[in-house]
Amino acid sequence: MNSVASDPVLIGLDWGTSSLRAFLIGADGEVLDRQSSGEGILQVPDRDFEGAFARLLAPWNAHSNLPVIASGMITSRNGWVETPYVSTPSGADALANALAEHQAENGRTVHFVTGMTDESGGAPDVMRGEETQIVGALDGIGGDGTFVMPGTHSKWIDVRGGSIARFATYMTGDVFAALRDHTILGALIQDGDFNEAGFREGVVAGRDGGHNLLRTLFHVRTLPLFGRIDANMVTDFLSGMLIGAELEATKSVSSDGGPITIVGRDDLADRYQIACEIFDLNCKRAPHDIAARGHFAIATYAGLL
Amino acid sequence: MNSVASDPVLIGLDWGTSSLRAFLIGADGEVLDRQSSGEGILQVPDRDFEGAFARLLAPWNAHSNLPVIASGMITSRNGWVETPYVSTPSGADALANALAEHQAENGRTVHFVTGMTDESGGAPDVMRGEETQIVGALDGIGGDGTFVMPGTHSKWIDVRGGSIARFATYMTGDVFAALRDHTILGALIQDGDFNEAGFREGVVAGRDGGHNLLRTLFHVRTLPLFGRIDANMVTDFLSGMLIGAELEATKSVSSDGGPITIVGRDDLADRYQIACEIFDLNCKRAPHDIAARGHFAIATYAGLL
């Protein structure tokens, strides 16, 4: 029997700092259609979120009866409707119970997924949007596990019994760009394509010395100065050192040695995959469209479907 | 009997990246007169080091017979005469044996103190100029000890038996400025006077979490976001966190628990003194003019006087 496209049952929004994606979701959680826009929360003119929302969903006005669920930085202080965080441990059920309802000017009701907070590191950690993706990834993968979401602020998320048990943010990408562009480490950098050898050497250096990063970083200057790595390796050596330090530090998060799921399919995820190999960590990639799967799972728990 | 000013016996130059100081030195190593200029090695027009040298010493042309000894980045690749490094362990005698002689166009002979390198951290570390200051500080203080020279690139120097046994560079100041000005951590900063309470909290946070700096740094964002530290504390909290992480990491260098000598008398040295108190480390300040004292000691070993 051939499968036929189901009728849409839900609209999901993943509305972050720099981008906005919308999914038209079917009865099995599959993505039937999608819209995207560059109107991340910091790019919406005059903070007119109502207008941006109406414009984005106009192509789906035939489905004006569908519930809308939204996740991401859109619920932060600089977003549309600020919502409180739920605390770890929490799963799809807790996120469903904490949905914040908002009546939009175009007549639609938006159910905001609130962010999550964690105090396991001795100070607050926060995320908005990643929790929804993890719920979606669990839907596709199931079970316990550790997830890494590389980026400006990498998130490491530990799932136990279907709930997000704890998580930690690493400022790896943000720190990398600042060091490369605004410290002496940039002076000896020669731009070029991805240099995997340099990256691999950096991962090892970060693994072995990342607990003492303020010192180890200076080697990014001295090694090329002494001709021990080439100028075209320096950027990726620095990148590897930071990612290596991150993986070494996350041993306390991913304590069970189980597989690590890398969320993201870009160049950055490739780097993390190489780094996992160097650490002898079993890793795999998350499937596509996990944000939409998370929207579907949370909406299901909330009885919106 | 009243002391009378002795005749000068030596001219010492401390020629760094951003400044140039000259000392007219007497028979007991005391500074009789001094010149300074903003012509650090990167500021010398057309890299005309001969001209900058002649201009600086013109007021002392009556002492054209005196030997000149010079230390600092002036012997680096971007300087006047590049010299090789001596390796740790080395003291004043090794530096004296490695002096590089240069006949300047104004007829004076310049004896360059070469820099020092250390491999104790698994990769090369380097300094040019600091070794001379440490030799000078030992002359005033004597014995073994650990020295910290705070700055853009802080140096921690371990002296044993009168020789520099090993040293390590921490990129603390460089990293601080890059993070404050070019990452998300700057977003919640409210400028103001030095906030000692914020600094002290930061030192403790860096001491306890600095081995995992990429994660701990994110707390500089979340703590003010959650109202747990005030906006006017954030800059100094970040400064304290990095200095706390540095002190925690240097435990491996300053292993004997002996007193730490802070070289430098500016605001930065005050911060390190507070941090040492929090770490329950005995610390003191180095005397003035240790560069000139180092020049005198090395020149004495070299038989130049």
Q: Between chain A and chain B, how many beta carbons pairs sit less than 8 Å apart? A: 132
Give the distance from residue B234's alpha carbon to the nearest chain A alpha carbon, in angstroms: 15
- Between residues 24 and 43 of chain B, which touch chain A (CB distance below 8 Å)? none
B71 pLDDT higher than 60: yes
Would you call B214 and A175 a contact, using CB atoms and an 8 Å cutoff? yes
Put simply, whether B215 touches A (Cβ < 8 Å) is: yes
Q: Is the ipTM of this complex over 0.90?
A: yes
Looking at mean pLDDT, say which of A141-150, A251-260, B204-213 comes out highest: B204-213
State the pLDDT at residue B161.
Answer: 87
Per-residue pLDDT tens digits for A173-192: 999 999 999 999 988 888 88
Tokens of A226: 């002494």
Closest approach of A236 to chain B, Cα-based (Å):
17
Mutate to test the interface with A, among B77, B172, B215, B248 (most CBs of A within 10 A): B215
Residue B259: the pLDDT is 83
Cα separation of the two ends of chain A: 26
A62 touches chain B (CB under 8 A): no
Which comes out higher in pLDDT, residue B146 or A191?
A: B146
> Stretch A232-243: mean pLDDT, rounded?
97
B229 and B189 Cβ atoms separated by less than 8 Å:
no
Instruction: Look up tokens 């990452």; give the residue.
Output: B183
What are the structural domains of chain A? 8-142+288-301 (3.30.420.300), 172-285 (3.30.420.310)
Task: Enumerate long-range contacts of A16-20, CB under 8 Å, 24 or more apart.
Answer: A16/A40, A16/A41, A16/A72, A16/A73, A16/A74, A16/A129, A17/A41, A17/A42, A17/A73, A18/A42, A18/A43, A20/A52, A20/A56
Mean residue pLDDT across chain A: 92
What residue in A sits closest to B124 (Cα-Cα)? A222
| A242, closest residue in chain B (CA to CA) | B214
pLDDT of residue A152: 92
CB contact residues (below 8 A), chain B span 105-144, against chain A? 121-126
Q: Which residue has the tokens 């090694």?
A: A223
Rounded CA-CA distance A152/A142 in Å is 27
Task: Flag whether residue B260 sits within 8 Å of chain A, measured between CB atoms.
Answer: no
| pLDDT value at residue A296 | 97
Residues of A with Cβ-Cβ distance to B212 under 8 angstroms: 211, 249, 252
